[in-house]
Structure formats: C-alpha cells, structure tokens
C-alpha cells in the first residue's frame, strides 16, 4: 500500500496537480508515526510511510495547509473524511486547495496496543495483509491486526469514505459498531459510582492539552484554556472539580461537531477514555433529536443549534423538571 | 440520593434569570409582597441563552448547591429564539453532568414569564426544598474556593 501511495503522490507532484503532500513519516521508533508535509519527490520517497500505525487524522492539518499557496495532496482514511466534511461545513478548509485521496483502512494499532498484548521492545513491523510480523528484541512475533487494533478501530463507525477526489483501495460500508456500549455501562452505575469513576480518570489528567490540540473539531484560534485569566489555564489539584470542568467544556465545545474519530483518546498520555464523553453527547442527541452523524454530509446543521419551535415535540430537560 | 440531616446548613442557590421575563417575574413577586426563600441569589442575564455552560460549572465550583435557569416561555423570547437554544444546550449539559455523577436534581431550567410572580415563588420554593433534601454539594466544589 505504501509503495502505491508514494507512486500516485509522485505522479501528482510531477504533473503539477499538487505542490506538496500531507502524509505520515516515521518518528524515532517504527510505531512513532508523525504527520508531515513533503515538498519534494525525493523527500517523499525517502520518508513517507503508511502502515498499521498511521492513526493520525490528517484533516486537522488542512486547516493551516489549505490557507497556503498551491494545492496540497492529502491521504484520508474513512474516519478522517468525516472530520474533513465537518471542517468544510464550518468553512475551515479551502476545498479548492486540497486534493483528497481516500485510502482503505482495516483498523490501526499503536505501540501502546501492542504493549497491552505483551509485545515489547519493538524493533520493526512487517505487514502482510491483516497479519503483522513484529520483530522485537526478544524475537519475532506474529499477530493478527484484528487482535491488536485500537479500541476506537474495534468500534469503528464507518469504513465508507464520505469525501474524496480519488480512491486507492476499496470503499467500505457504514458499520454497526456498538460504540455506545461503554457509555451505557457507565449510565447504569449509581451517581456515586459514576462520580468516583470519572474522578479517578480525571485525576490522572496532566493538562497537556493534547486532546484539544489534536482534535479536528477544536479549531478555534483563540481558546478559553489558553487564557490565563480563565482560571482553567493549568492543572489545579487532583481532587478538585477543575479537571472535570476542563473535560466537560472540551467535550461540550465539540458536541454536534464531533465525528467520533477517537483522536482524543489515542493521544492521551494518561489513557483517559475521553471518547466516552464525546460519545455521551452523541448518544444523547441521537436519542433526543434523531440520528445525526457529524460530517456525513457537507452543510449539515448541528443538533445543538438546529432546534424546533414546537413545544411538545421537543424532548428536553425542561419538561422533566430537571429531576432524575 | 441521600437525605440531608444537618439542620444548620442552608443551601445556596443561584438563579440565572433572563431580563425580559423571569427577572420581571421575580420583580412582580416582590411588588406583590410574595416571599420566596432568601437562599436564592438572582443573576440577571439579557437572555437565558446568554448562559455559557461554564457559568453553571463555575457557580457550582464557587460553592453553589443548586443552579436554576429561568427564561421566557417558548415562543415568548424577546430575541425570538434564545430560549430554544437554551433548551437544547442545557439538556445536553445537564445530561452530561448527570453522567459525571452530579445529581440532575441540582440543575434545572424553568420558564417563568413576567406575569408569573406566584409561579416564580413556587418554582423557587420547590427547588430550594429539593436541594435542602439533597444536602450540600461536595462533588463540584473547588478546594481553592473553599472557606473554612
């Protein structure tokens, strides 16, 4: 797949359709993949990678890249195309400056996910279809991609591309993902248990803001969390409400725009299940206002603002009097 | 839901009222000499949709035991659609707070018009009663804001 992508990118660069390529390159280790912009064919041939670790959602980087001169080529996985559409809806990307190649995705893994399966000291990974051969300092191991894929890929909502100029590989279908199972489990707990669960999770937060920075829906140029006077600038203490407050506001701010790509949980260095907050909002407005998938089409109205005037038809907290 | 047994404790309630209906409703309650609990501290906002979710969270952090939002009845908003926005936003926010283990009885949205002085009193009486039964808010407080 990698060779195919490089070949096509080289062609497009050489015929002048695009003048740079947004893709992935290797970091310090084979599983440390980092997004990168390639401006020359040599650079592309030498450094471009595409493998089972390329989980990064590149659509976020188009916010800045599409402002620049000339066309940029970008590779988007199915879940990234939802974010891409959502950004188009919000007029954050100049569509005419972007050439999108949709690429097939069969789930991604990460160094952390391999570690969870007891595979450590990774030197190199070879891919053969759905089978990974991991060379470690302790010897070779063969695993199936299905067994080590990230949680967000195990609950993948769709393998269908919703936006592309051309497609490499095959287009998939919208999947029945059971992605709200964990949310339902938490909902079943008592208020006390829920509070303790979340306080335990959030007490680990180090306020690195990685979840905010990586989120394709978080594209404000000025953010309340960067404002020193907001009182939310940095971590308070592990047992105050401050961390909950940060995470509620972060999730709330992307409610109705979150495409559930799961980048927030992927980048969290403390493994806080942040997707559970976003999915709670998605589950709520799906249940109350009808199914809505952010980014499925360009120009959709978010359920947070797409209200109805009808008093009886609107299920809301007001009619219930706010009581449990 | 635990029942409060501390008799000395009095709840602190923040009522965020819209300027055009609910604040006038509270005013009417005053001019009619109707009494409502002194625990309720009113904050006036131009419209109920002026309320940022952060206002609610901040009120709790700084020691409120309950937050109630009052706005115009649907269809009566001074700015036509403000309260429809409030309705959707607060539905999602309160559901999220409940998800994080904060009893949803501590948060409420009520529609009170400028002519409903008695209703304002009833709503506040009811809300203060609910919060008094629930007891002090310990889950949302910020230790830095705590006064000993």
Residue of B nearest to A198 (CA): B100
Query: Strands A20-26, A33-38: parallel, antiparallel or unpaired by DSSP?
Result: antiparallel
Do residue A236 and residue B139 have CB atoms under 8 angstroms apart? no
For an interface test with A, the pick among B13, B18, B21, B74 (most A C-beta atoms closer than 10 Å) comes out as: B74
Which DSSP state fits B106? G
- For the cut 80, the answer to whether the pLDDT of residue A324 exceeds it is no
Do residue A241 and residue B105 have CB atoms under 8 angstroms apart? no
pLDDT digits (tens, 9 = 90+) for A15-64: 989 999 999 998 888 888 999 999 999 999 999 999 888 889 999 999 99
**b/e for A275-287, b at 16 or more Cβ within 10 A?**
bbbbbbbbbbbee
- Which among B96, B109, B139 has CB closest to A280? B96
Do residue B100 and residue A194 have CB atoms under 8 angstroms apart? yes
CA B134 to chain A, closest CA, distance in angstroms equals 12
pLDDT digits (tens, 9 = 90+) for A188-222: 999 889 988 988 888 888 888 899 999 999 888 88
DSSP letters, A219-244, are --SS-GGG-GGGS-SS---TTSSHHH
Do residue A191 and residue B101 have CB atoms under 8 angstroms apart? yes
Contacts of A292 in chain B (CB under 8 A): none
Q: How much is the average pLDDT of A63-91? A: 92
Residue of B nearest to A185 (CA): B99
Specify the pLDDT at position A133: 87
- For the cut 90, the answer to whether the pLDDT of residue B124 exceeds it is yes
- For the cut 80, the answer to whether the pLDDT of residue A316 exceeds it is no
pLDDT grade for A98, boundaries at 50, 70 and 90: very high
When the pLDDT of each residue in chain A is averaged and rounded to a whole number, the result is 86
Q: What percent of chain A has pLDDT over 70?
A: 93
Q: In chain B, which residues touch A (CB < 8 A)?
A: 1, 53-54, 57, 60-61, 74-75, 81, 84-85, 87-105, 107-111, 130, 139-144
pLDDT grade for B7, boundaries at 50, 70 and 90: low
Do residue A249 and residue B74 have CB atoms under 8 angstroms apart? no
Torsion of CA A221, A227, A230, A234, to 10 degrees: 110
Tell me the two tokens of residue B119: 């209703």
Which DSSP state fits B38? T
- Which among B92, B94, B100 has CB closest to A285? B92
Beta strands in chain B (DSSP E): 13-18, 40-45, 66-71, 107-111
Dihedral sign for Cα B136, B137, B143, B147, please.
Answer: negative
Q: Give the DSSP H/E element, type plus range, for residue B104.
A: none
pTM attached to this predicted model: 0.88
Query: Where is pLDDT greater, at B9 or A39?
Result: A39
Which DSSP state fits A311? T
pLDDT grade for A88, boundaries at 50, 70 and 90: very high
Q: Across chain A, how many H-helices and E-strands are there?
A: 14, 8
pLDDT digits (tens, 9 = 90+) for B28-86: 999 999 999 999 999 999 999 999 998 998 888 888 999 999 999 888 899 988 988 88
Q: Is A153 helix (H, G, I), strand (E, B) or coil?
A: helix
Which residues does residue B107 pair with via DSSP β-bridges, in sequence order? B67
- Which among A245, A285, A311 has CB closest to B74? A311
DSSP letters, A63-119, are HHHTTSSS-EEEEE-HHHHHHHHHHHHTT-S-GGGEEEEEE-------HHHHHHTT-
Q: Give the DSSP H/E element, type plus range, for residue A143.
A: strand A139-144
Whether the CB-CB separation of A277 and A205 falls below 8 Å is answered with no
pLDDT digits (tens, 9 = 90+) for A272-295: 999 999 999 999 988 888 888 898
**CB count in 10 Å sphere of residue B97:** 24
Q: How much is the average pLDDT of A239-244? A: 70
CA dist list (Å): A1 to A127, A129, A141, A284, B135 = 10, 10, 22, 39, 61
Whether the CB-CB separation of B133 and A232 falls below 8 Å is answered with no
How many CB pairs lie under 8 A apart between chains A and B?
133
- For the cut 80, the answer to whether the pLDDT of residue A87 exceeds it is yes
Do residue B87 and residue A244 have CB atoms under 8 angstroms apart? no
CA B88 to chain A, closest CA, distance in angstroms equals 6
Residue A215 dihedral angles phi and psi, to the nearest 5°? -65, 125
């Amino acid at each position: 797949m990698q060779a195919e992508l490089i070949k096509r990118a080289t062609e497009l660069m050489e015929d002048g359709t695009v003048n740079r390529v947004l893709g992935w390159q290797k970091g310090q280790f084979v599983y440390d993949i980092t997004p990168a912009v390639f401006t020359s064919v040599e650079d592309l041939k030498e450094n471009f990678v595409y493998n089972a670790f390329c989980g990064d959602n590149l659509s976020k980087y188009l916010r800045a890249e599409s402002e620049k001169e000339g066309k940029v080529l970008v590779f988007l996985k199915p879940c990234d195309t939802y974010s891409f559409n959502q950004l188009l809806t919000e007029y954050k990307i100049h569509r005419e400056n972007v050439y999108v190649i949709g690429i097939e995705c069969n789930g991604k893994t990460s160094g952390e996910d391999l570690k969870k399966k007891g595979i450590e000291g990774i030197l190199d990974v070879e891919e053969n279809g759905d089978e990974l051969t991991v060379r470690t300092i302790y010897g070779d191991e063969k695993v199936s991609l299905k067994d080590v894929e990230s949680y967000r890929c195990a609950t993948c909502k769709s393998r269908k591309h919703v936006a592309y100029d051309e497609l490499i590989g095959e287009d998939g279908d919208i999947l029945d993902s059971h992605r709200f199972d964990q949310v339902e489990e938490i909902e079943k707990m008592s208020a006390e248990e829920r509070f303790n669960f979340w306080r335990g999770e959030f007490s680990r937060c180090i306020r690195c803001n990685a979840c905010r920075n990586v989120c394709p829906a978080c594209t404000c140029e000025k953010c309340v969390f960067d404002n020193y006077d907001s009182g939310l600038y940095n971590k308070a203490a592990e047992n105050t409400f401050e961390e909950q407050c940060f995470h509620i506001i972060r999730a709330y701010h992307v409610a109705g725009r979150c495409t559930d790509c799961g980048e927030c949980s992927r980048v969290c260095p403390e493994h806080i299940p942040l997707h559970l907050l976003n999915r709670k909002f998605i589950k709520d407005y799906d249940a109350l206002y009808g199914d809505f998938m952010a980014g499925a089409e360009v120009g959709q109205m978010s359920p947070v603002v797409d209200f109805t005037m009808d008093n009886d038809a609107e299920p809301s907290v007001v009619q219930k009097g706010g009581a449990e | 839901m635990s029942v409060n047994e501390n008799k000395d404790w009095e709840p602190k309630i923040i009522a965020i009222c819209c300027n055009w209906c609910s604040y006038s409703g509270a005013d009417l309650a005053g001019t009619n000499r109707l009494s409502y609990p002194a625990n309720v501290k009113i904050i006036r906002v131009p419209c109920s949709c002026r309320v940022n979710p952060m206002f609610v969270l901040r009120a709790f952090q700084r020691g409120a035991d309950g937050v109630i939002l009052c706005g115009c009845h649907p269809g009566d908003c001074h700015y036509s659609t403000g309260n429809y926005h409030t309705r959707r936003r607060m539905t999602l926010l309160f559901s999220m707070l409940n998800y994080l283990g904060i009893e949803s009885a501590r948060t409420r949205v009520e529609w009170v018009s400028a002519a409903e002085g008695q209703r304002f009193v009833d709503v506040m009486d009811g809300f203060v009663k609910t919060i008094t039964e629930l007891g002090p808010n310990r889950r949302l407080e910020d230790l830095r804001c705590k006064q000993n």
